[in-house]
A and B are shown apart, each in its own frame.
Chain A
Amino acid sequence: MTPTIALEDIAKEYPGVRALAGVSLDLRAGEVHALVGENGAGKSTLIRILSGDTRPNRGRILVRGQEVQFHSPHDARRCGIATIFQELMVVPGLSVAENVVLGNEPTVGWGRQLYSRRRAVRIAQETLQGLGLAVAIDPRAPMETLSTAQKQIVEIARALIRDAPVIVLDEPTAALSDKEAEALLRILRRLREKGTAILYVSHRLNEVRGLADRITVLRGGHHIATLPAKAIKDTAQLIELMVGRPLDELFPSRGDVRGETVFAVQGLTRQGAFEDVSFSVRAREILGVAGLIGAGRTEVMRAIFGADPLERGTVVKDGRMLAIRTPADAIAAGLAYLPEDRKEQGLVLTLPGYENLALASLERYGAWGLVSWGRLRRAAQDVASRLQFRGNLEAPARTISGGNQQKLVIGKWVLSKADIMIFDEPTRGIDVGAKAEVYRLMHQLAEQGAAVIVVSSELPELMNLCHRMIVMSGGRVRDELEAANFDERRILAAAFAAHVTNDAPREVTQ
């Protein structure tokens, strides 16, 4: 049977970079085809070509056997390809129904010019119901009241309205909790049954193995392999294909050379976000902070760092109480905070890599308020090589791959001589190989004397990485465990504590 979409020998070059070198791929009706690979492997480029955002330098695109040329995303959509990007493309000011029918508004009346809201609501209602959601989304609700996961579902509904026979998803579960991701996967399975051809790009390899029928691996712009999912015995096999060599150990071995308690917070409270949060960290310790999305972990860390206000509570470092009102205060006290969203909050993408590295320590590279570029560059190069940074330090940070961008953020805090490092979701959106390097760096920082706090929603990551863990739920600390006692069931029970008991659940914002 002719595949719905076939890409033949696609090549794409950007100035100085060969993004794709002769990649062939096909999508069949009623099948989920997964695409995996490290950052820089060419996945995003392939998606942009499929969605009509850019044109290949070489190669053919065939829709049901006919060759086509996409001059714009509009052409791709007209051929039936609906693309759902990692960044949600919803209009927050409109209602759910309006978003669902966006571009396909139902019209009535003379010349079919009058927009029919009633019909739009009905269409949206039917489509959303067809997705088999556990909890219904009200089509009349304003878009901004929806959670990220729900917004994603609305985007899928929009794709369905067009009866898109082909749906391309780029990292759809990156920002979703496990439960929400499961709901999304159920919807995708249902679509598969209906005969939709689905291209699914994700870093979550276990998820991919559970969902896909076939998996294609890209590496360095080349097509490495396309395998039926059943043929893959374990995730390590996939990882090795992606990385090109056997991956001995994702996590460095966890020694125990922990020192005294160097950092302690007590009774941290901000109404509506978190309450009575207390914990401590020892030198050379990696403390994990587990919990569901919305548990208040990021809020606590940002408040400790001075980025958001703190109503009550104390922060003590090396026996001294700190008065932190702004990030500058926190940095002066030796704290570092790597934000969840490194592009939005961690880096100035227009500035070159070396300047980003120096951003929190500019005063060290010159006297009298001046900047000595020579000194700055040397310090930047030194820390970059220590972190095994790969990329061009002179180029703007936006041109650098995700894993290396994260190294820039880490390097920034190394240069600021911080000894309390707070990592917030440090491996989000980073490929497997880069994750291993970030874990190695965290261990290195700890071994060199820092106290490391890691907030993460990936439990396996925390369980393998940390010496100790606290679990938050509904804005409070529910449990604390040493590594020897790490138990998935116990941690999950604590993570769900606020959702299970009638504990006056708070309105916790993301």
Chain B
Amino acid sequence: MANSAGGEIKRAGAIAPRQEWLRNFLRNNARDIGLPLAVIALVILFSATSPVFATVQNFRNIGVAAAALAAVSFGQTFTILTAGLDLSVGSTVALVSVVTAFGMRGQGVAIGAAEGLLAGAAVGLVNGILITRFKVFPFIATLAMLSIMSGLALNLSSGVAVSGLPQRFGELAYELTAGVPVPVVIALLVLAVSHFVLRYVRLGRHIYAVGGNEEAARLSGINVDRVKVAAYVICGFCAAVGALILTSRVASGQPTLGTSLPLESVAAVVLGGVSLFGGRGSVVGVAFGVAFVSILSNGLNLLNVSSYTQLMVIGAALIVAVTLDQAIVRRRAGE
């Protein structure tokens, strides 16, 4: 066909080539560089307003504080990409904390950690089965599991912290490898593996397809149920990693750990540009989302802003970020 229909790239006016390149670059990538730029802006802002902010020790503090949220958020990304979500991550963390503590107390760090990770994955499996086999909506299924797992954690620990962990484990949260705190290394590892799975492993591509259009994915031969269950198992596993980090920091198994994680992780994922409708976004964006939230609370802390006000600021920042994001999307569509 000589005459092609639609989509011809035409020069929309006489502009200097370099200017046009910049315009197109901004237009195509504004959504992706907006958040990193905002993070950089925050760093600059807080460096200017607080003498303590831009120090190595403070950055280490930020990293340690952010590591658990990061691990949980990367796991949450998998479920949100399938157009679902996992509200039970908070109580998964609590449960894993208790299970790990008992395990480590009785059989040492390695076995305890393994039991914890397995417990996290098992919670994810139950979530996945509820959603695929019993057709319960993710919101409801994981909300119910939130309650059940929380109760289970409290039952197992009789409502009190589980102490007596090997001292070695409690120190891990404060150790450094090559100057970087261990929790940060772990979080970066989760980031790298998550990115690899989503980009280079077939399951990861199936996750995008299922989230993007479940029926089309099914008609293309993808086992939608299996993909969804995998996403929730991965989420549970990542939540378990986050739990290990948090448990190490408090050197005990706490059945009330992580209550704020469901909302915080979803916020970080959405900030990071992952669509709640599924099929769109990357964990790299989520990493910046976590960075944004963590740097913001750290900076506000250093400015002696009360934690109550901090809550308000973070909520407001989320609204601003999402609004800006929407505006960019709409401008890109030519409205």
> Measuring CB to CB, which residues of chain A are less than 8 angstroms from any residue of chain B?
12-18, 38-41, 54, 219-220, 243-245, 305, 307, 326-328, 330-332, 337, 339, 344-351, 355, 359-360, 362-363, 366, 369-371, 373, 388, 390-392, 399-401, 403-404, 412, 416, 431, 433-434, 436-437
Contact = CB atoms under 8 A, between A and B. Distances in A.
A331 B3 contact: no
B209 to A, nearest CB: 5
Interface in B293-319: none
Interface string B6-32: 111110100000000000100100000
Given A359-B209, A362-B205, A328 B222 contact: yes
A369 B212 CA distance: 21
Contact of A244 (B3, B8, B212): B3
Nearest to B203: A369
B7 A17 contact: yes
Interface stretch (B59-67, B119-127, B232-240, B327-335): B327-335
A363 B206 CA distance: 11
Q: How large is the interface on B (under 10, 10 to 19, 20 to 34, 35 or more residues)?
A: 35 or more
A363 to B, nearest CB: 7
18 contacts: A16-B9, A17-B6, A38-B5, A39-B5, A244-B2, A244-B3, A326-B223, A348-B279, A349-B212, A350-B208, A359-B209, A360-B220, A362-B202, A390-B1, A391-B7, A431-B5, A433-B1, A434-B5
A399 B279 CA distance: 16
A-B CB proximity, top 8 nearest: A40-B6, A40-B5, A348-B212, A14-B334, A331-B221, A350-B212, A328-B221, A401-B6
B323 interface: no
B3 A347 contact: no
Nearest to A242: B3
Contacts of B209: 348, 351, 359
B195 interface: no
Interface of B: 1-10, 12, 24, 27, 199-206, 208-209, 212-213, 215-223, 275, 279-280, 332-335
Nearest to B9: A16
A351 B212 CA distance: 7
Given A328-B223, A369-B202, A400-B7, A437 B1 contact: yes
Contacts of A243: 1, 3
Contacts of A388: 1
B1 A16 contact: no
A401 B7 contact: yes
Contact of B220 (A14, A366, A370, A412): A412
Given A15-B332, A351-B279, A431-B5, 6 more contacts: A14-B334, A15-B27, A346-B219, A348-B217, A350-B275, A371-B202
A327 B220 CA distance: 7
Contacts of B205: 355, 362, 371
Contact of B6 (A39, A337, A359): A39
Contacts of B201: 369-371
Contacts of B12: 13, 15-16, 18
